[in-house]
Amino acid sequence: MLKYKVVELSTVSEDMIEETLNEWSAKGWSFDGIHFAMRESQKRPSMAFMLFTIEEI
């Protein structure tokens, strides 16, 4: 059975994304995608949601 994990990042930076990827990959999770939440008045995302999957028996 495929299991999903959503990790919310309130600080969106290259370092935080890299740290989160390394942390969950080391736990056996596979990166599935990333979604950014944007504010209309800003060019940078205010939040990010990282999706991971793992196969459970």
> pLDDT tens-digit profile of 1-57?
999 999 999 999 999 999 999 999 999 999 999 999 998 898 899 999 999 999 998
What pLDDT sits at residue 20?
98
What pLDDT sits at residue 54?
99
* Total-model pTM: 0.89
Residue 57 half-sphere exposure toward CB, CA atoms < 13 A: 0
What pLDDT sits at residue 57?
83
Q: b/e per residue, 9-44, with b = 16+ CB within 10 A?
A: beeeeeeeeeebbeebeeeebeeeebeeeeeeeeee
